[in-house]
Amino acid sequence: DAGVTQSPTHLIKTRGQQVTLRCSPKSGHDTVSWYQQALGQGPQFIFQYYEEEERQRGNFPDRFSGHQFPNYSSELNVNALLLGDSALYLCASSLVEASYEQYFGPGTRLTVT
Amino acid sequence: GDSVTQMEGPVTLSEEAFLTINCTYTATGYPSLFWYVQYPGEGLQLLLKATKADDKGSNKGFEATYRKETTSFHLEKGSVQVSDSAVYFCALKGFQKLVFGTGTRLLVSP
């Protein structure tokens, strides 16, 4: 049973560029949440997707957007990258009726130079 | 808003020592509480959880009791191993999201 997978593992981008991160949820899960983990900090909630719609959003600017596909996989897009966007981006999947029990992927390490 | 406060690290222990990592929370009502562990280069793994007051979560020798009187959920282990070296995060269930503390790094030496 495959767990949550994310791609790519590492990414280096330049300020002002755009980036897309991808996530495949654990088999059977229908809900995907994204978190940003800055170095030395705890994960911060970005948003959550269910049935291809954004259900809830944290305190992140509109430069951060997402998408969920019919197969429940998800993408996180960040436009106009800033140096402060450098972080580990974590995807977590769950069942909508048990959204508190989230399973995390290994993350994508984004470095903005 | 909801928040979680953890003791700052690093916590440095010798193998077989007793571990306590403090965690307190601020929230409306009595949210479910969690401990996650993050090993180097990996994502977060759920270690244990408690869904209501006075519940005790336990896993792999780790325990934490949900204390509503003190709004705390301290993590304990009677005898740590080198393999327990990791970053530990306390979290609570907010509205459709998890709210995490800043994490506590545990270093266990042989």
pLDDT digits (tens, 9 = 90+) for B24-56: 999 988 899 999 999 988 889 999 999 999 999
pLDDT: is B42 or A21 the higher one? A21
Q: Averaged over A12-20, what is the pLDDT?
A: 98
B101 part of contact set with chain A, CB < 8 Å: yes
Q: What pLDDT, in 10s, does the model give residues A50-64?
A: 999 999 999 999 999
Q: Chains A, B: CB contacts under 8 A, how many?
A: 54
Report percent pLDDT > 70 for chain B. Answer: 100
| Residue A4 tokens, joined | 């949550």
pLDDT band at B1 (very low <50, low <70, confident <90, very high): confident
State both tokens at B87. 């970053």
All residues at 6 or more sequence positions from B29 whose CB lies less than 8 Å from its CB, including other chains: none
Is the Cα torsion angle B24, B20, B102, A92 positive or negative in sign? negative
Distance from CA of B75 to the nearest CA of A (A): 17
For A31-42, write each residue's pLDDT tens digit: 999 999 999 899
Q: How far apart are CA B65 and CA B60, in angstroms?
A: 15
Positive/negative CA dihedral, A106, A103, B62, B101: positive
Tokens found for residue B70: 């003190």
Nearest to A42 among B43, B49, B101 (CB): B101
Q: What pLDDT is recorded for position B50?
A: 95
Asked if A55's CB is within 8 angstroms of B96's CB, the reply is yes
Whole-angstrom distance, CA of residue A56 vs CA of residue A50: 10
